[in-house]
Structure 1
Amino acid sequence: MTLSQALLPSTSLPTRIAMILAGSLFIALSAQASVPMFPVPMTLQTLAISIVGLAFGARLAAATLIAYLVEGAMGLPVFADGKAGAMALIGPTGGYLWGFVAMAWMTGWMVERGFDRGLFRLFIAALIPAALLFVPGVAMLQVVTGMSVGKAIVLGATPFLLGGVVKAALAALVVAGGWSVLRKRG
């Protein structure tokens, strides 16, 4: 059982749609907390995606990220620094955007397979998918810009490694805290 299932046991379609929209709004807001860097900005998106994955489970988290990408492609200013449009999905940061879906799904999948409680397990469930996000992110950065793989790693991964660990820890703390509050209520 995920945290969201424990909090909202209803699995009705309106409930799931509301969760997807709330999750995509949370991610959109986190994208606006941005440190401008070239070519990939540093944002709080991966923190929000980890929280969504840890709390929602695989399918609902992936649906949330798909909704987020559709919202951005339709022109809503949900991407980092208020950017929008389908071109963002094929630009230098497109690999990260597409990878967000896999990151959310894998985080939720790990939670559904026993990484759902306990701070350390939640941290691992957030950290591994966040680390794997660099694969599509760096790959598309390299392909789109024509830079070497080494330079793409230096610009598209290295500056984000420590932050990724910190964000995974924060996401685990948030969700573990949610479970703690829920246990005290019940």
Structure 2
Amino acid sequence: MTTAVPLPAQRPLVLADVLGRSRTRDLALVVTAALFTAALAQIAIPVPGSPVPITGQTLAVVLTAAALGPHRGLAGQALYLVLGAIGLPFYSEASGGFEVISGATGGYIVGFLPAAYLIGLAAKHQLDRALWKALPLFVAGQAIIFAVGVPWLAVTAHLSAGEAIAAGFTPFIVGGLIKAAVAGAALPGLWKLTKRG
């Protein structure tokens, strides 16, 4: 007679895996990521001389991407983009509509997609579980957003490269580092709370 040997529980790859997997739960997580990004978009501080405000969106992107992983994180940001583009007041200062996407700030929102996927992929490889790994990950994730957003700003606002950097990147460096530090502290802390990290 053979005895069944129980398989060891699979170690969660990203924070959301602690909750288990089901299509309903995944859908709820994706919707929550979109709504969380929309909520943090309403934290908006105008930047003098720039059409781009300082917002909480990038913090939402890095947190949800790391927590959900590449596919659910990307889906959450894609849902956010689509819901705002069809006119829901999801973008900064309760704006919405395709004109936002096609305008000066649209590139940053589009940049959420590759950033979410790549941050989620890195988190799947456990780069979000210690501050010293998470901090550079979240700085790099925001850099991806700027890599899409700044050239988009230059084209749509008819700015030179230098002007676009001055208006769409330089004023956001300190805030981006603060957001990376907040996320870099939060994710490892949440992993410790689950006692599964």
**TM class by smaller structure:** over 0.9
Q: Tell me the secondary structure at the aligned position of residue 195 of structure 2.
A: helix
Q: Tell me the secondary structure at the aligned position of residue 133 of structure 1.
A: helix
Q: Which has the higher helix share?
A: 1
Give 1 or 2 for the bigger CA radius of gyration: 2
The answer to whether the 8 Å contact 1:116/1:122 transfers is: yes
Over aligned residue pairs, what C-alpha RMSD do you find? 1.4
Question: Which of 133, 136, 140 is equivalent to 1:124?
Answer: 136
**TM-score normalized by the length of structure 1:** 0.95
Stretches of 4+ moved more than 6 A in 1? none
Structure 1 residue 79 displacement after superposition: 0.1
Q: 1:8-62: per-residue Cα shift (whole Å, max 9, x none)?
A: 11x2111111001111111000000110223101001101111011111111100
Aligned to 2:97: 85
The answer to whether the 8 Å contact 1:54/1:125 transfers is: no
Q: 1:100-152: per-residue Cα shift (whole Å, max 9, x none)?
A: 11111111111112313111111122111111211111101000111111000
Question: Which of 22, 40, 44 is equivalent to 1:12?
Answer: 22
Aligned to 2:38: 28
Structure 1 residue 177 displacement after superposition: 1.2
Structure 1: gaps of 5 or more residues: none
| Number of residue equivalences | 183
What CA distance in whole angstroms lies between the structure 1 residues aligned with 2:58 and 2:29? 18
Matches within 5 A, 1:145-164: 145-164=157-176
The answer to whether the 8 Å contact 1:54/1:122 transfers is: no
The answer to whether the 8 Å contact 2:67/2:120 transfers is: yes
The answer to whether the 8 Å contact 1:54/1:126 transfers is: no
Query: Percent sequence identity over matched residues?
Result: 36
**TM-score normalized by the length of structure 2:** 0.89
